[in-house]
């Protein structure tokens, strides 16, 4: 299973209205944390009711906790856009 698929699988627990996972590793070739095979740098956008009433920091902490295994297993960087449906 690809790292992007692993990320999608874990974030499905947020019951997202929308979920986008983009592997940006190619843009970071030669940078710290980049690996030749990619799958190290991702942009993730999630729209979920679960974020209602949460600060931006709380949302980030929640997503980082859900992706703890992936962050320990080679994901070097995450760019996150985390919104509720009302914030669109």
Domains plus CATH for the chain?
A: 3-87 (3.30.300.90)
For residue 55, the model assigns a pLDDT of 98
For residue 27, the model assigns a pLDDT of 80
For residue 37, the model assigns a pLDDT of 67
For residue 38, the model assigns a pLDDT of 75
What pLDDT, in 10s, does the model give residues 12-66? 999 999 999 999 987 856 666 666 667 899 999 999 999 999 999 999 999 999 9
pTM, two decimals, is 0.90
What SS3 state is found at 45?
A: strand
Measure the CA–CA gap between 25 and 12, rounded to whole angstroms: 22
């Amino acid at each position: 299973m690809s790292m992007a698929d692993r990320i999608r699988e874990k974030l499905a627990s947020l019951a997202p209205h929308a979920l986008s996972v983009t592997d940006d590793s190619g843009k970071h070739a030669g940078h710290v944390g980049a690996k030749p095979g990619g799958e190290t740098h991702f942009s993730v956008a999630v729209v979920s009711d679960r974020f209602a009433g949460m600060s931006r920091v709380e949302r980030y902490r929640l997503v980082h906790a859900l992706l703890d295994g992936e962050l320990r297993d080679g994901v070097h960087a995450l760019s996150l856009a985390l919104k509720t449906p009302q914030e669109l």
